[in-house]
Amino acid sequence: MDPSRLGDAAHRGEEQPVVSFRGPLVDRFGRTHTDLRISVTDRCNLRCLYCMAAEGVEFRPHSAILSFEEIERFVRVAARLGIGKVRITGGDPLVRRGVLHLVEMLAALPEIRDLAMTTNAVLLEEYAHRLKAAGIHRLNISLDTLDRKRFEQITRRDELPRVLRGIEAACRAGFRQIKLNALAIRGRTEKEIVPLARFARDYGLELRFIEFMPLDAARQWRSDQVLPGHEILEILRENLGPIEAVVPDVPGAPASVYRFADGRGRVGVIATVTEPFCDQCGRLRLTAEGKLRNCLFATDEWDARPLLRDGGTDDEIAQLLLAAVGAKKKAHGTDTGEFAAPEQSMHQIGG
Ligand code: SAM
Ligand code: SF4
């Protein structure tokens, strides 16, 4: 299949960039893609106000969602093109029935040296040990507050006690690494920063604050709601003492990471909006229904499902990956006046 014929932009008749590859999954700007985020469901047991609508969310029917065999095949092809890191996400990945089986299938692929999951931890108490046994190396757990009332306001569910038990279970399960992710919204998050940092330090977990992005279902994001990473760092310094920047463990990692001067713990900020790191981005995303995306904020998608379901060859799947990488833009452009947010919100794309 001719890569220039793939992708929604091509279907709309727009001019496609010249695809020129210097190696496996290297884009026009020299970025090598080694990291794939896979959403396994658009469903979730929380309704975070920055992600999903409170009521009436329409979910994809099961028949529209990729099967585990389809996902595994896609990953096998991607691994041949240099993908070595996979993160399973959603919606919440733990609400997908049988997800442990998918973990086992992906863990069995020798090229996948790093297999991670992002979860809200509501079901983690039940799953932590089994996820570790099935082959998950690293976990990211989302936690925005330690206050039960505020947790319920943010997530629209009274689940903080279960989440905290899930975090405890994860700490006992022996993962290579566990990080806590907190979403940073101006006017809400300032008072959470110090308690969350103390909690993370006590549990020996790395805490990262993620700037609020224009991917909310309600389309109510405004730039003045973004609590910039540098302000978060200032609040940490004022309350918990000096912090110093550390060299990232992995080149191209989205977080700027700091160590507390007393040696107890690390904290990071993912300043996607105020300090974009697009020049370092080597990530691709596969949505639950099999749409390949080259950026969180992309408005174009490459549909892998017909190839996976209706007799496409591995070569055709590889061409799809190459086409998506070849069309990747230099930057997401949320800071430009021309930015148009994608139709999908975070739970549909997979964060
Ligand atoms: N349900 C899981 C969870 O919450 O960890 C995994 C999926 S969730 C979409 C992944 C991450 O996306 C979460 O850490 C969440 O805070 C983040 N997220 C959701 N909506 C966002 C938004 N509008 N801007 C920035 N991050 C967002
Ligand atoms: Fe669910 Fe995660 Fe979205 Fe919250 S951020 S609604 S937990 S998918």
> Token pair of 87, please?
């993160």
Question: Could you tell me the domains of the chain?
Answer: 3-349 (3.20.20.70)
pTM for the whole thing? 0.92
On the 0-12 / 13-18 / 19+ scale of CB atoms within 10 A, 328 is buried
Which residue bears the tokens 């309350």?
Answer: 239
Say which residues have a Cβ less than 8 Å from residue 74's Cβ, sequence separation at least 6.
66, 286, 290, 304, 308, 317
What DSSP state is assigned to residue 136? -
Q: Is the CB of 48 under 6 A from ligand 2?
A: yes
pLDDT at 336: 66
What DSSP state is assigned to residue 94? G
Mean pLDDT by 10 residues, the chain (351 residues): 41 42 78 96 96 92 97 97 97 98 98 98 98 98 98 98 98 96 96 97 94 87 91 95 86 84 90 86 96 92 97 95 94 71 84 78
> Token pair of 110, please?
């020798």
pLDDT at 337: 67
Q: CA–CA separation, 215 vs 296, rounded Å?
A: 9
Q: Is the CB of 47 under 6 A from ligand 2?
A: yes
Say which residues have a Cβ less than 8 Å from residue 20's Cβ, sequence separation at least 6.
28, 326
Beta strand 177-184 with 138-142 is parallel
> Token pair of 122, please?
């509501």
Q: CA–CA separation, 24 vs 16, rounded Å?
A: 20
Q: Is the CB of 46 under 6 A from ligand 2?
A: yes
pLDDT at 23: 52
Q: Is the CB of 268 under 6 A from ligand 2?
A: no
Q: Is the CB of 43 under 6 A from ligand 2?
A: no
Q: Is the CB of 143 under 6 A from ligand 2?
A: no
What residues pair up with 184 in beta bridges, in sequence order?
211
CA of 351 to the centre of ligand 1 (A): 5
Q: Count of residues for the chain?
A: 351
Nearest Cα to Cα of residue 275 among 297, 251, 254: 254
CA of 317 to the centre of ligand 2 (A): 29
Ligand closest to CA 45: 2
Q: Is the CB of 52 under 6 A from ligand 2?
A: yes
For the CA atoms of 321, 325, 328, 331, what is the dihedral angle to 10 degrees? 120
pLDDT at 7: 43
Say which residues have a Cβ less than 8 Å from residue 11's Cβ, sequence separation at least 6.
none
CA of 180 to the centre of ligand 2 (A): 14
Q: Is the CB of 93 under 6 A from ligand 2?
A: no
pLDDT at 216: 85
* Beta carbons of 232 and 205 less than 8 angstroms apart: no
CA of 178 to the centre of ligand 1 (A): 16
> Token pair of 286, please?
């596969």
